């Protein structure tokens, strides 16, 4: 999407954000379908606890390639804004070359350490067996995730968010149909139960990855996949890594702390773990506008800086933050007032202990929505500008110094609310720690944004 000041701010923002919103909504349907199938066709809390960990595991796989995604997004957006499409195309190739090498290593590693990872996360008995089985089946999907994540990021940075959304939509349809058919067993299709969920994911992701490859070979958004450009290019790779490594460390820090956070909750028992997993999956609904406007902010910020228009970049980022924050706050109100009805949909039983506890967690999460919107969207804008070091700093401060220590203290020891008989403890205490972390990071990123140093970052 070429820059055109005559279109204002809102129109290009919505043209970028809406396809991402639709795409992420469809992806969320997969997660909701998996949880619905788990709650209605797989008995007990063990499948729910395993499902909670697998949501983190799939997030971890998608985050593996963040170094190349973040670096490629910033460079492609800058080069597109400066009308240097051949250089943007070269970035795509270098990101795919590096991503392929990492995907091979990650696939081998996942094959050998899956069981150890499950036990490290404190899952117990049947839940641990189910989680290990899921990892073993889904591990071959890693190269497909690499192609989709890097390809979609580069196309989005070039202004084409529609192609990625359409491919994601097809993947969602395949995932839901294959997964549900195998879990339930329809007609001649065998009933595989739990194993049907990862098989659906594997089938859908590889189909989508092949379509993405064909799309890039044909050419989209000024970029085309060419075999002769797949050779390593030292200068481009160096620039890619210079921006991407701090961003990758940022994501790795976030992921490591999130897994540590999950392990803390895992010590509280299967019901608490299942409630946490369900709460996180439902909360993902609030991430839809945040992620969509984060992508829009990242793309527009990078392109306007590349075109030498920092004031317009600032205006676009603030507009994205306001729009996304409004949507997320509205979703938070739904969490607060309708939490019981929401969790009942997934559990099918109003007395399910994990569902009852998850409803309380959603009410806690509702408080964090304005801060979460600020954190997500402004971090996207800063990454689009190439200011990945500051996002790394805020991630470390929030997660390492706030969330993890507070979660340990509140989850294991608890604290009495002054003047009342309420004790904040267990998984509820861990979620209160999460709200504190999100608030700290949101305020820090807001301060960095108004400082303005990101507008002079060289990429």
Average pLDDT over residues 211-224: 89
> In this predicted structure, what is the pLDDT of residue 197?
92
Share above pLDDT 70 across residues of the chain, in percent, rounded to a whole number: 98
> In this predicted structure, what is the pLDDT of residue 447?
93
> In this predicted structure, what is the pLDDT of residue 6?
46
Closest CA to 4 of 300, 221, 384, 382: 300
Span 293-329, pLDDT tens digits: 998 898 889 888 888 888 988 999 999 999 999 999 9
Say if residues 53 and 123 touch (Cβ distance below 8 Å). Answer: yes
Across 142-156, 162-176, 293-307, 344-358, least confident range = 344-358
Span 26-66, pLDDT tens digits: 778 888 888 888 888 887 778 888 888 888 888 888 888 88
Say if residues 375 and 438 touch (Cβ distance below 8 Å). Answer: yes
> In this predicted structure, what is the pLDDT of residue 344?
87
Residue 2 has pLDDT above 60, yes or no: no
Say if residues 142 and 100 touch (Cβ distance below 8 Å). Answer: no
> In this predicted structure, what is the pLDDT of residue 7?
55
Span 377-386, pLDDT tens digits: 999 999 888 8
Say if residues 387 and 326 touch (Cβ distance below 8 Å). Answer: no
Please provide the average confidence, as pLDDT, over all residues in the chain. Answer: 87
Distance, in Å, from the CA atom of 368 to the CA atom of 302, rounded to the nearest integer, reads 28
Determine which helix (DSSP H) or strand (DSSP E) holds 415, and give its type and residue range: strand 415-416
């Amino acid at each position: 999407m070429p820059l055109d000041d005559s279109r204002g701010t809102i129109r290009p923002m919505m043209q970028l954000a809406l396809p991402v919103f639709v795409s992420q909504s469809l992806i969320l349907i997969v997660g909701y379908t998996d949880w619905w199938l788990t709650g209605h066709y797989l008995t007990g809390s063990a499948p729910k606890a395993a499902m909670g960990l697998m949501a983190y595991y799939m997030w971890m796989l998608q985050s593996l390639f963040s170094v190349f995604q973040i670096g490629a997004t910033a460079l492609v957006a800058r080069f597109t804004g400066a009308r240097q499409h051949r250089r943007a195309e070269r970035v795509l190739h270098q990101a795919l070359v590096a991503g392929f090498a990492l995907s091979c290593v990650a696939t081998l590693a996942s094959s050998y350490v899956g069981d150890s990872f499950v036990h490290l996360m404190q899952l117990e008995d049947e839940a641990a067996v189910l989680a290990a089985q899921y990892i073993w089946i889904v591990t071959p999907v890693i190269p497909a995730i690499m192609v989709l994540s890097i390809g979609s990021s580069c196309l989005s940075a070039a202004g084409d968010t529609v192609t990625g959304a359409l491919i994601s939509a097809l993947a969602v349809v395949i995932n839901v149909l294959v997964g549900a058919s195998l879990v339930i067993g329809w007609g001649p299709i065998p009933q595989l139960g739990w194993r049907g969920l990862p098989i659906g994911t594997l089938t859908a992701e590889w189909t989508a990855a092949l379509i993405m490859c064909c799309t890039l070979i044909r050419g989209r958004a000024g970029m085309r996949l060419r075999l002769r450009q797949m050779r390593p290019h030292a200068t481009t790779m160096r620039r890619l890594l210079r921006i991407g490594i701090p961003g990758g460390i940022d994501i790795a820090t976030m992921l490591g702390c999130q897994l540590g956070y999950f392990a803390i909750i895992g010590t509280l028992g299967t019901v608490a773990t299942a409630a946490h997993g369900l709460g996180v999956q439902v909360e993902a609904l609030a991430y839809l506008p945040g992620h969509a406007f984060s992508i829009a902010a990242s793309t527009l910020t990078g392109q306007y800086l590349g075109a030498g228009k920092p004031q317009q970049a600032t205006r676009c980022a603030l507009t994205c933050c306001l729009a996304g924050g409004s949507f997320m706050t509205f979703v938070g109100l739904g969490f607060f007032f309708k939490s019981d009805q929401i969790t009942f949909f997934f559990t099918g039983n109003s007395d399910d202990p994990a569902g009852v506890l998850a409803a309380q967690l959603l009410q806690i999460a509702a408080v964090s929505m304005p801060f979460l919107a600020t954190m997500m969207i402004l971090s996207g804008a800063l990454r689009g500008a190439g200011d990945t070091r500051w996002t790394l700093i805020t991630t470390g401060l929030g997660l390492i110094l706030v969330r993890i220590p507070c979660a340990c203290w509140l989850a294991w020891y608890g604290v009495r609310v002054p003047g009342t008989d309420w004790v904040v403890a267990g998984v509820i205490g861990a979620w209160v720690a999460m709200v504190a972390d999100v608030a700290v990071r949101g305020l820090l990123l807001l301060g960095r944004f108004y400082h303005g140093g990101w507008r002079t970052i060289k990429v």
